[in-house]
Chain A
């Protein structure tokens, strides 16, 4: 229980009643509802790993599940530091197929990292 605060010299009769206008709030709610409906049906410009473009819901889910992929994550590892020709050959073989991706970011809808940060 809070302690009683001393009554300041206010006159209740002079105080505004703080009635709210209906239409302002109603108009904002309508705008919000339109955005929700558009968002639920919104295809983003971001590709998915499976192909095609990601829905906005998939993008939001990717934020929380570590589902965003960036090109640098798929970049091949640097060549081995040792001068072992077999290791170098294996590295070259592994990365011969690699070509820099054309996308900047894409969504992995199946990702489920427990905490992306």
Chain B
């Protein structure tokens, strides 16, 4: 397998190199600087993800369950600190026919995070994404999925998280009793809550607690994470889909600098989500892992007021 970093300055066959133009205006120095930043980001990401894991798994922080988090993490996990925003949204939807309430905290938290950084939380802070990253490291070859599959996330958001709980709630079925719901189908719930409680139940002699359906779902998810990079994030995550909608206008964003581009296509080659980074980078399929920034032409930036 070739190493893209070694070839990063080589222009693609048949295309003129722009490296010469860059060197004339000090571009090589800037590109080296950009590449160094990219490599630093690449190295630090697992540590940042581990640090955030400490925040989401703080057992002393269970009193924070009254505040929705901004990442996909089951609130039934014995160590969870914040409330799962997806579960909270589904609960609000189910409660709507009985007691309509405005989810100010949930909407506020999500708006702040999304407008500040888009889907940066997916790539750098989400514990479930981190887990999928770790599982993905066990296998080298990954299947590629077409970009349109990312739209399934919005069907999950509208169908499973909002409409279905709302309709069943209107029929008088409360969320906890709904046999089909996002929480009953969620692999994060199976892994972070179902598994620990089932293991504890097994150890204390009360047998396997989790349903066979959910256990099978967990096995299928782990298998999928070995074959596809971040399958949940890419195909089903309603929260990731929602945050990524703000990638086009968030203060933190990725900027393309044509002066730094030597057409090596390292950016697109390194993107684990299959985003066509060589065309547009602030798109809804991106989890902002910043792997594409390794080449130096894609640069993480904060928007600033003009003047």
Could you say which of B50-58, B82-90, B154-162, B231-239 contacts chain A? B82-90
Are A105 and B95 neighbours in the complex by a CB distance under 8 Å? yes
Interface string of B113-156 (1 = CB under 8 A from A): 11110000000000000000000000000000000000000000
Residue A93 interfacial (CB < 8 Å): no
- B251 and A26 contacting across the interface, CB-CB below 8 Å: yes
A111 nearest CB across to chain B (Å): 11
Give the complex CA separation of A57 and B185 in angstroms: 26
- Across the interface, B116 reaches (CB within 8 A) one of A29, A60, A70, namely A29
**B104 contacts A56, CB within 8 Å?**
yes
Q: Mark A56-74, 1 if CB is under 8 A from B, else 0.
A: 1111110111101010000
Given A57-B105, A117-B184, check contact A63 B249 (CB 8 Å).
no
A1, A10, A61, A68: which contacts B66 (Cβ < 8 A)?
Answer: A61
Across the interface, B280 reaches (CB within 8 A) one of A16, A32, A42, namely A16
Q: A3-B269, A5-B268, A42-B104 are in contact. Are A36 and B109 (CB under 8 A)?
A: yes
State A112–B108 Cα separation when bound (angstroms): 26
Q: Could you tell me if A32 and B104 are in contact, using CB atoms closer than 8 angstroms?
A: no
Q: Is the CB of A7 within 8 A of B12?
A: yes
Segment among A17-25, A78-86, A94-102 that sits at the interface with chain B: A17-25
Q: Are A1 and B83 in contact (CB under 8 A)?
A: no
Contact A44:B76 (CB < 8 A) given known A114-B197, A115-B197: no
Max count, chain B CB within 10 A of own CB: residue among A19, A21, A59: A59
Report Cα–Cα, A7/B297, bound state, in Å: 15
Cβ of B272 within 8 Å of any chain A Cβ, yes or no, is yes
B7: chain A residues at CB < 8 Å are 4
Chain A residues whose CB sits within 8 angstroms of the CB of B116 once the complex forms = 25, 29
User: Please, how many angstroms separate the alpha-carbon atoms of A4 and B2 in the complex?
Assistant: 7
Contact A32:B112 (CB < 8 A) given known A18-B281, A22-B303: yes
Which of A4, A12, A35, A55 meets B18, CB within 8 Å? A12
Q: Please judge, given known A-B contacts A35-B107, A115-B193, whether A12 and B249 are in contact too, CB under 8 Å.
A: no
Binds A, one of B30-38, B218-226, B258-266: B258-266
Q: Is the CB of B249 within 8 A of A18?
A: no
Q: Across the interface, do A23 and B305 meet the contact criterion of CB distance under 8 Å?
A: yes
Q: Are B105 and A25 in contact (CB under 8 A)?
A: no
The 8 closest A-B pairs by CB, nearest first: A35-B108, A32-B111, A7-B12, A57-B66, A39-B105, A39-B104, A36-B108, A28-B115
Can you add 15 more A-B contacts, CB < 8 Å, to A23-B305, A61-B66?
A2-B272, A4-B265, A12-B18, A18-B255, A18-B280, A21-B303, A28-B249, A36-B108, A37-B108, A57-B67, A60-B83, A64-B87, A66-B176, A104-B98, A117-B181
* Chain A contacts to B: CB under 8 angstroms: 1-10, 12-13, 15-26, 28-29, 31-40, 42, 44-46, 55-61, 63-66, 68, 70, 104-105, 114-117
